[in-house]
Structure 1
Amino acid sequence: MNQVKNAIETGTREVRHLATEVGNEVKKTAENNKVNSPLPADVGSEIQKVATILAGFTDPANAEGGLDNVIPAEVVRHAKGLAVFTVVKAGFVWSGRVGSGLVIARLEDGNWSGPSSINIGGVGFGMQVGADVTDFVIVLNTPDAVKAFSRGENLTLGGNLSVSAGPVGIGGEVSGSVAERAPLWSYSKSKGLFAGISVEGTVIIERKDANKKFYGKEVTATQILSGEVETPPVVANVLYEVIKRAESRKTEDADPSS
């Protein structure tokens, strides 16, 4: 019996050691290639990462390709919520996806909720060899989309919540009324360039422990995204400033060369 117990403990230590080694390697690779780390971190660090990612999608000065490769200001202004995260996809024949990020929602008064931390997972099939790190911005266009992210259950993108590629560029056409738009618009970048990578089949998981540590108490994603958690920590202000600039951007002021 003791031999079995010792074997289990030894195996557990080896798995933890391997996970740490893999995590360190992923982090090192991300730093060397100047991409964002997909590994879960404390919410304060995730806020800094998400603010950087969102600026890269909405600020022409930070976007590869300038005005042609930004999310239109109208898209951000009408968004009911935003999910921003980094994913590493790796495999051979079959592939796995892991990552982390945040979700925020627009409140009835027009302000933004506090951030709720999320993990990303998923599996797929195909002749993929090696690994790739991708940043995603998912625009939540409807109240139902926000509710889906608020339930605290594992959410799989696609299916009942259809995902479409969102319009891009200052001249990007934002067709149809808000009610007619797809529940989710997806944007992705790999190594700074728009990649057009599908997120269907990606699983979103609430990081309850990370949210508890950040807010100093037990909170649910529903409470956070509905505004019941009244005062988000001041560290979140950097993210709100990026969103504010994205919403208020004007075409004539957007070109950094003008």
Structure 2
Amino acid sequence: METKHIPAQHQDAMPADEHKMDPAPDYAPRHPGVGKLKGKVALITGGDSGIGRAVSVLYAREGAKIAIAYLEEDKDAEKTKKLVEDEGSEAILIPGDLGKKANCDKAVQATIDAYGQLDILVNNGAQQWLDEDFANLDEDKIDRMMASNIKAYLHTTQAALPHLKEGASIINTSSVNAFAGMGSLITYSMTRGASLAFSRSLAGNLADKGIRVNSVAPGPIWTPFIPGTMPAEQVEDFGSGTPMGRAGQPWEVATAYLFFASSDGSYYTGQTLHPNGGMVVGA
């Protein structure tokens, strides 16, 4: 795959905006759909951009109808909605802070109101900041990350469970940092470790109901997280330190979410896939 140079850049926002990134992240699926998700409905949090956008478009190509929950990035969300529709599917947009339980309930109910069912829940929305001084971590940022990266996953899943039938799939985004850790992302790594433990524990709880729960632990992926988190000079050539020598693109991660959502992953629960460019970590 051609490696594009990533120039220095920064956005003073979290989440940042995909439409301002240079180069634009690559979300486009590489293969024709074969109906792996035909007749399914997926709720994807953080579905407006980055990995969430790539998953939304890939799921649509495979036949699913999409509900996109996101914080406030309307321009990115509208583009993702159009991309889903260009695949011949349908999408609804659900803005709101999922760090608040009422908005998690609202997102699930909006999905049911629109489509009458829910088959796939992708808990993907999150926030991230650098922790440069552990002794003086910002309490507000800690609280925001805990709400977005942990509580939102728990409460959205709680709201979804009454609607999920046997054969349904829950997929939670974790991170390579849940396994390898990162000194400059202590709080974020802690929350991604929580989403990993949540996936493994919930998988055991729901196995007898025929609901599978898995996680995806991406490495350095070129998404709005990066210019929204790092100083401009650290963004330049982001991902070049991996064994593959480049950052991953969102489309390369979305395929893991498709595997877990479809019948291809029917014998997988409590497991994790690692699209991380060759960074070897524990299972």
TM range (shorter): under 0.3
Greater percentage in strand: 1
* TM, length-normalised to structure 1: 0.26
Greater percentage in helix: 2
* TM, length-normalised to structure 2: 0.24
User: Which structure: larger Rg?
Assistant: 1
